[in-house]
Amino acid sequence: MAKENLVKEKILAFCRFTEQQGWAFSERMMHNGIHQLRISDGQATTPINFYPTGTVLIQGGDNAVKSALQSWWQQQVQEQSTFWSQETLAQTKPIVPAPAPRHTRMGIARIGSDESGKGDYFGPLVVAAIAVTPETEERLLVLNVCDSKLLSETSIMTLAPQIKAICQGHGSVISYSPERYNQLYKETTNLNLLLAKAHAQAIATLQSKVCSDLAVVDQFADESLVTNALARLGCTVTVEQRPRAEDDTAVAAASIVARAEFVQRMAELSRLAGFEL
């Protein structure tokens, strides 16, 4: 309940700032308890996601609204606003993330897999898998590679090509356009099964190239979905599913690559539509 109240306080703070600027906003509840504000000055719109963990993510393309929101929010963090405790402030810095923790799998060659676009109204569903070695993982940690939800869009678009270069092309990206996603969903009628198949395809495609014995993914409610999907593809890699898998460097790298692909596809759709989605 304390975290829920904290999220509400942050949303109210953003709403007050928006009203002071004479801008408009709308609020909606997304999946997994995520709140989203969409703030507009009549020309540009910037979405902001508020996560139950306390993370605040200012999204969208670069524009005057986004720049003003980022500057104001950074100031709130630096001034240690009375809304939030020091512990919470450490969790919610919008631009500079904490270094990825050295998980117990540190130093073991493995594949990490993550998705982007699962809860978005527009755009594709993207799943990426990245293979890391002890050597490439050290280089990724130097870049402060972490969960993409803790990074700005600019940082994501900068880091994604660096990750690909460091990992020497040892990655696999599966992207379902809205039309393809709808078709697959009709066939499966189960989002988790659809996701499991996409993760399995990305992992199996990459595993055939790097011969890694371990893959790490976010925990599914039914852990058999991913393992069964991999078995049907003839892939025998060991799968480790865990909550907050993005704490693992390989999964964090995959989350960044997946999000970058999603952003690029959204930009293409926006150009086709003639306005920013």
Amino acid in position 207: Q
**CA end-to-end span of the chain, whole Å?**
33
pLDDT tens-digit series, residues 116-133: 988 666 778 999 999 999
Residue 248 to residue 105: CA distance in whole angstroms: 8
Binned at pLDDT 50, 70 and 90, residue 83 comes out as very low
pLDDT tens-digit series, residues 134-161: 999 999 988 889 999 888 888 999 999 9
Entry pTM? 0.62
Query: Quick one: DSSP state of residue 156?
Result: H
Residue 100 pLDDT > 60, yes or no?
Answer: no
Residue 99 pLDDT > 90, yes or no?
Answer: no
pLDDT above 70 as % of the chain:
86
Query: Helices marked H in the chain — which ranges?
Result: 2-21, 64-78, 86-91, 134-142, 153-166, 178-188, 191-210, 224-232, 249-273
Residue 245 to residue 250: CA distance in whole angstroms: 9
Amino acid in position 70: Q
Q: How far is CA 232 from CA 108, 116, 228, in A?
A: 26, 24, 6
Residue 35 to residue 45: CA distance in whole angstroms: 16
